[in-house]
Amino acid sequence: MAQAQGLGKRYVRAFFKGFCVAVPVTVTFLDRVACVARVEGASMQPSLNPGGRQASDVVLLNHWSIRNYDVQRGDIVSLV
């Protein structure tokens, strides 16, 4: 019984250590490198959400290019 409690404590401790590393890494990645966004509505038709369908398109917003001023003609820019 004592061995099972020790094993459970070890798993819980390992989970929290991994959680404490994964959360800051994920937040930093989403803030500095790229994030995923959903495009809804008619504002980007016909390029995104063609045909007026109800399903939304998913796009990758590249923060890295904006930080390096690597925006070219024809790129879609998202402002928040």
Separation of alpha carbons 76 and 66, rounded Å: 11
Which residue's entry shows tokens 């879609």? 76
- Domain interval for residue 71: 15-40+57-75
Separation of alpha carbons 67 and 80, rounded Å: 15
Evaluate whether 64 touches 33 at the Cβ level (below 8 Å): yes
Separation of alpha carbons 34 and 45, rounded Å: 23
Q: Is the residue at 50 inside a domain?
A: no
Q: Is the residue at 70 inside a domain?
A: yes
Q: What is the pLDDT of residues 18-75, one digit of tens each?
A: 999 999 999 999 888 888 888 877 777 777 777 666 677 888 888 888 888 888 888 8
**For position 53, what pLDDT does the model report?**
65
Domain count, the chain: 1
Q: Whole-model pTM above 0.85?
A: no
Q: Is the residue at 33 inside a domain?
A: yes
Q: Is the residue at 25 inside a domain?
A: yes
